[in-house]
Amino acid sequence: MDVLGRRAVATPERPALVDAGDGHTWRYSDLDRLVTRAAERLERRAAGTNRVGTLCRPSPAFVVAFHAAQRLGWTVVGLDSRLGASALGTRLDRAGVDLVVHGPETSPPENTDRPTIPAATLLAGAGEATGSDTTPGPQSGPPRVSTDPGGRPAETSVVLFTSGTTGEPKGVRLTAQNLRASAVASAFRLGVAPGDRWLCCLPVAHMGGLAPVVRTALYGTTLVVQRSFDARETGRVLAAHDVTGVSLVPTQLRRLLDTGAPLAALSTVLVGGAPVSGRLLDRALSAGVSVFPSYGLTEAASQVATARPETARDHPGTVGRPLYGLELTVVADGEPADPGERGELVVAGSAVTPGYLDESATEAATGEWGLHTGDIGYRDDAGRLWVVGRRDELVLTGGELVVPATVAESIRDHPAVADAAVVGVDDPEWGERLAALVVPDGDLDTTTVEAHCRETLPGFKCPKVVSLGRSVPRTASGTVDREAVRERLRESGS
């Protein structure tokens, strides 16, 4: 029996799922019946399937489709609804997707011979809108568990693609054990109560949006789903549905604070995807918000390290200690680094992926101490972790090595700056130069930003170019889209 089936036996009357749009609520017994029916219909639609792609936003229909595919033993491949036809087709091929489930806001993939099915029909029990549904299905009893060609249940439970801010996104394979281990580790750090309600408003093609779908079923808590984040509407949903926890990226937290949403009523605001600036943390603490700064990876099924609010308050900038069951090693020059010494973060443990779709990528990323993340950071004497940037974003300018993320954080500390991103661009004299894209929060000009940098940073860390913009391009998981930032800078003549 799968996790949801066991949960339905243990706590059938407990609320499982709430649609933030209309407030409709399903108990675990209700959700279990929906999933059983959806699994039967999925199997009839595409018998012999091993991998199903989900092209959906957060919704009750997606939750049902996900659990139904898991019940069948199929691998779920998360597909970003923002992708163009070419990029989507490439991911379908790379992941070996047999069937695509799509939401009402997302169109079926173009030019594909794969069967498709609207997720809403799995929730409502209506007939499919694409293709015919003539494949005989089981007449009674639970749906069979599909297996891989070797006759065993599929080893890979989920495939998610990394953000790919500088290169081709990697397809990360996650097992059921990875997902469970991550859920247990998160519960050890955050705490869980039976009445908890977690809002899912992040894209479900990424771990930040998918994790609550998995974890609430394991914990027996309630999942509230909102189609997408909107500061004012999300603030209303938090209050209207007595939400106790939510995962956000820093920009979303700032926008919620700007609206005056009642975040102090939340017991957990898990913030990841990008560093939490000192100014944002101060604002949140002043508003009584329980912020848990976090460092996570798709490859670790979400959180790697998370700071509790008291740790974040007393040690600004840290993301806390590694979670239960995860080992983190800072590696410098091929050896574990001393406290305070920067190096690459390497993770190991039961939540860490067995590998990527591309075996060569797995081999390249795996070493003596575990999976090499490409992130740079250090730990203090007490084991708390600070993440300073990525190895592939380091900029060598005039013989000095600079981590752009630390420069961006310094710029964001200016009271008239809403957001900032710093990247390296080619320079005929210096090899590379630092360029900053800055989003004003009030009256601000480039001269003021440049003066702030000179006052707070060494000369070699000051951006040679500063451009103002309306927003910083980010991926769906909240990380800076560096190539898009460079394009914005080029468009501005920088």
Distance (Å, rounded) from C-alpha 469 to C-alpha 10? 52
Question: Nearest CA to 59 among 235, 227, 202, 198?
Answer: 227
Q: What are phi and psi of 188, to 5 degrees?
A: -60, -40
Mean pLDDT of 122-148: 43
Q: Would you give the distance in Å from CA 417 to the centre of its chain?
A: 25
Question: Nearest CA to 322 among 194, 181, 159?
Answer: 181
Q: What are phi and psi of 305, to 5 degrees?
A: -140, 145
Distance (Å, rounded) from C-alpha 54 to C-alpha 204? 9
pLDDT in tens, 258-315: 999 989 889 999 999 888 888 899 999 999 999 999 999 999 999 999 999 999 999 9
Q: What is the CA radius of gyration of the chain?
A: 23
262 close to 239: Cβ distance less than 8 angstroms: yes
Between 438 and 476, whose confidence is greater? 438
Distance (Å, rounded) from C-alpha 75 to C-alpha 146? 10
Domains contained in the chain, CATH given: 3-154 (3.40.50.12780), 176-390 (3.40.50.12780), 394-491 (3.30.300.30)
Question: Nearest CA to 330 among 292, 384, 276?
Answer: 384
For 190, residues 6+ apart whose C-beta sits below 8 A from its C-beta are: 245, 268, 270, 292, 306
Between 81 and 362, whose confidence is greater? 362
Percent of the chain residues past pLDDT 70, beyond the cut: 93
Percent of the chain residues past pLDDT 90, beyond the cut: 73
Distance (Å, rounded) from C-alpha 384 to C-alpha 386? 7
310 close to 303: Cβ distance less than 8 angstroms: no
pLDDT in tens, 445-456: 999 999 999 999
- Quickly list DSSP for 232-281: HHHHHHHHHTT--EEEE-HHHHHHHHHHT--GGG-SEEEE-SS---HHHH
As given in the structure block, the two tokens for residue 124 are 């409502």
Distance (Å, rounded) from C-alpha 415 to C-alpha 434? 22
292 close to 312: Cβ distance less than 8 angstroms: yes
As given in the structure block, the two tokens for residue 130 are 């694409």
pLDDT in tens, 429-441: 777 899 999 999 9
pLDDT at 140 over 50: no
Question: Nearest CA to 146 among 355, 8, 2, 9?
Answer: 2
pLDDT of 476: 72
435 close to 467: Cβ distance less than 8 angstroms: yes
Q: Which residue has the tokens 């469970």?
A: 180
Candidate from 112-126, 208-222, 309-323 with smallest mean pLDDT? 112-126
298 close to 206: Cβ distance less than 8 angstroms: yes
Mean pLDDT of 240-260: 94
pLDDT of 164: 62
Question: Nearest CA to 154 among 174, 136, 183?
Answer: 174
* Average predicted confidence (pLDDT) for the chain: 90
pLDDT of 468: 96
Distance (Å, rounded) from C-alpha 44 to C-alpha 191? 40
pLDDT of 145: 45
Distance (Å, rounded) from C-alpha 313 to C-alpha 204? 30
pLDDT at 134 over 60: no
Mean pLDDT of 2-14: 96
CA torsion 72-77-82-87 (nearest 10°) is: -130
pLDDT at 149 over 80: no
What single DSSP character describes residue 147? B
